[in-house]
Amino acid sequence: MAEKRDFYEVLGLKKDASVDDIKKAFRKKAMQYHPDKNPGDKVAEDKFKEVNEAYEVLSDADKRDKYDRFGFAGIDPNAAYGHSQTQGQGFGGFGGQGGYQYQTYGNFDGSQYDTYQDISGSDFEDILSSIFGNSGFGGAQKRNMTRKGADLKANLTVTFEEAAFGTKKKIKLNDKTISVTIPEGVDNGSKISLKGQGQPGTNGGANGNLIIEINVRPHNKFTRKGSDIYTNVPITLTQAALGTKITVPTLRDKVSYNVPSGTQPNTLFRLKGKGIRDLKSKSTGDLYIKVLVKIPANLTAEQRDLFEKLDKTLN
């Protein structure tokens, strides 16, 4: 059997440590070595037992005093210095009240690790509660708790138009086909939660949810920024100078638009309400048209002559 380490050494403390110092050190060590945090790790399990035993003694003024004066013999119930242990009292307390209190700890699936000797009162449970939450880590309590099932995650790819207008899709998960309604206006990275489609709960707990992350395929004509969409329309140099009527593609149809004379390259024109419906505000974005002026290349002699004559008139 391995030789016991000094309790102050176990918690990393000096002998003049205050009550608060002891609690802080225990919090840190309990978090580090708790079996639920280290499933299957026998070393961590032994360390946690050691930390628990050290705290049980040093947090109790009477026991700490006896330990400081007589060492391990001072807290041995079979030694002359210790208290007598009352058999069969699971929650008897310490000192004049007699007996020891026990606490069983388990891992996340409810299986027991061991039964550890604990302090009397609620102090130890309060500390564990502050570390691990109010749900508790007791094995018996853990097994009997009503727990919601875990959430599941999945990815779903849709087209640009399907994201804009909404659609219905089917997704296969664990040999189960689930129907998914894609709302109008979802964007790349949007998440849809399907209630109750995750892992089943335990002890009557609700099922978890299925969280679907949306991936939107790029479009060959449109790009998107929020609820607004952008497209490019090429026009000739002459059309930019003189003005022209162009046909603009939208997500739903094609519309005509009058480009004014003197339009400069990369000018943006807006078609209000021709964008995508916003998922939250339900307002509809706009369509922005960027005019790309095509500069002619490989001019004929006649075309060059005409441009030179035009240039002289412009200067």
The answer on pLDDT for 228 being more than 90 is yes
Q: What are the strands of the beta sheet with 287-294, ordered from one edge?
A: 223-225, 228-236, 287-294, 268-271
Looking at residues 31-53, what average pLDDT do you find?
A: 88
157 & 271 share domain: no
For position 181, what pLDDT does the model report? 95
Asked if residues 132 and 34 have their Cβ atoms less than 8 Å apart, the reply is yes
Among residues 176, 201, 216, which one ends one of the domains?
A: 216
The pLDDT, as a whole number, for residue 144 is 66
CA-to-CA separations, 15 to 7, 53, 104, 123, in angstroms, rounded:
9, 16, 29, 21
Q: Which residues of 8-27 are buried (b: 16+ CB within 10 A; e: fewer)?
A: bebbebeeebeeeebbebbe
Verify that 163 and 99 share a domain, yes or no.
no
pLDDT over 80 (residue 145):
no
Residue 231: pLDDT band by 50, 70, 90 thresholds?
Answer: very high
Give the span between the Cα atoms of 276 and 284, in whole angstroms. Answer: 5
The pTM for the full model equals 0.54
Q: Which of 216, 238, 268 finishes a domain? A: 216
**Alpha-carbon span 1 to 242, nearest angstrom:** 98
Mean pLDDT of 137-145: 58
> Is 60 exceeded by the pLDDT of residue 112?
no
Domain assignment present for residue 290? The answer is yes
Claim to verify: residue 211 and residue 237 sit in the same structural domain: no
- pLDDT class of 251 with cuts at 50, 70, 90: very high
Asked if residue 65 and residue 131 are part of one domain, the reply reads yes
CATH number at residue 71: 1.10.287.110
Rounded CA separation 229/226 (Å): 8
Tokens standing for residue 26: 């225990």
Confidence band of 37 (pLDDT split at 50, 70, 90)? confident
Instruction: Report which DSSP code applies to 206.
Output: P
Q: pLDDT band for position 78 (50/70/90)?
A: low
User: Tokens standing for 90?
Assistant: 């699971």
The verdict on 140 and 14 lying in the same domain is yes
Q: Which are the contacts of 51, defined by CB distance < 8 A and separation ≥ 6?
A: 10, 11, 26, 29, 30, 33
Report the CATH number at residue 167.
2.60.260.20
At residue 237, does pLDDT exceed 70?
A: yes
Token duo for residue 45: 């399990």
Residue with the bigger pLDDT between 5 and 123: it is: 5
**End-to-end C-alpha distance for the chain, whole angstroms:** 103
Q: Taking CA 122 as the corner, what is the angle to CA 118 and CA 124, rounded to the nearest 5 degrees? A: 50
Tell me the pLDDT of the chain averaged across its residues: 81
Specify whether the CB–CB gap between 56 and 119 falls below 8 A.
Answer: yes
At 106, list the tokens.
């388990």
**Is residue 73 domain-shared with residue 194, that is, in the same domain?**
no
- Domain range enclosing 252: 223-314
Residue range 113-138: mean pLDDT, rounded = 48
Which CA distances in Å does 99 have to 73, 92, 150, 173, 258?
18, 5, 40, 54, 93
Report residue 129's pLDDT band, with 50, 70 and 90 as the boundaries.
low
Evaluate whether residue 281 is within a structural domain: yes
**3-class DSSP state of 172:** strand
Where is average pLDDT lowest: 106-110, 118-122, 198-202, 255-259?
A: 106-110
Same domain, 20 and 132: yes
